[in-house]
Each structure stands twice: as structure tokens, then as C-alpha cells.
Amino acid sequence: MQQLVLKESRIELIGRVLREPEDFTAWAESFCHNNNLSVQDIYLGADRFQLNFTYTGLDFVLFSESLCESSWIEGFHQSAKEKLDELYLHLAKDTLVHNEHM
């Protein structure tokens, strides 16, 4: 189980850093399927993986960096950034959560 932390401009995923492209791809597809999100694109770089997905018609990006061992979600456009709280609550239903936004 992973922990989510809501910060002002992002949702951090604590305990979720995958180093192999195949592992990230499989996890990203499962993450979207299990949370009723739509996969748009998956980009695999040497140190950074990126999952573009939609939630309620808005575009979000999940980044995972192996060098700094961190993963986080950001809204792609301003309208999505304004809905981070809503996405956080949607994802939080099955995870440990911590809200630093307040």
C-alpha cells in the first residue's frame, strides 16, 4: 500500500518508485485501471518515467524519478491543477493519506 501526500501543487506518492520500464508500465496501467483513470501516454526515459492520464476529462501527469526516488502527480493545465484536491480524494479511498495542503 502506498501513502499519498497532498501538497499545494502536487500529490506525492510515497513508497512508489519503480526502476525498470516494464515494471512502471505494468504498474501504471494497473494504477489507472484500479482507479478508473484513462491512460493517455506512457513515456520511459533513462531516469524518469511519465504517465499521462485523464480523470473527469482533465489531464494529469504522474512522474516517477529513480535518481531522487520520488513519484508525484501534477495537473497538466490550470483547470486540472484546480482539481488536484478532487483527484486526491478519489485516489485516497484505498490508500493511506496525509494532507499537507491546509
pLDDT, tens digit (0-9, with 9 covering 90-100), for 10-61: 999 887 677 788 888 998 898 898 889 999 999 998 888 999 999 999 999 9
Determine the average pLDDT of the residues in 66-71: 84
The values of phi and psi at residue 6, to 5°, are -90, 120
Query: Would you state the pLDDT for residue 95?
Result: 55
Average pLDDT over residues 4-14: 88
Q: Looking at residue 52, what is its pLDDT? A: 96
pLDDT on residue 98: 45
Domain locations in the chain as residue ranges: 3-99
Read off the amino acid at residue 30: S
C-alpha cell at 74: 501534477
- What is the CATH number that goes with domain 3-99? 3.30.160
pLDDT of residue 96: 47
Q: How far is CA 16 from CA 34, 82, 97, 102, in A?
A: 16, 24, 14, 24
* Distance, CA of 89 to CA of 72 (rounded, Å): 15
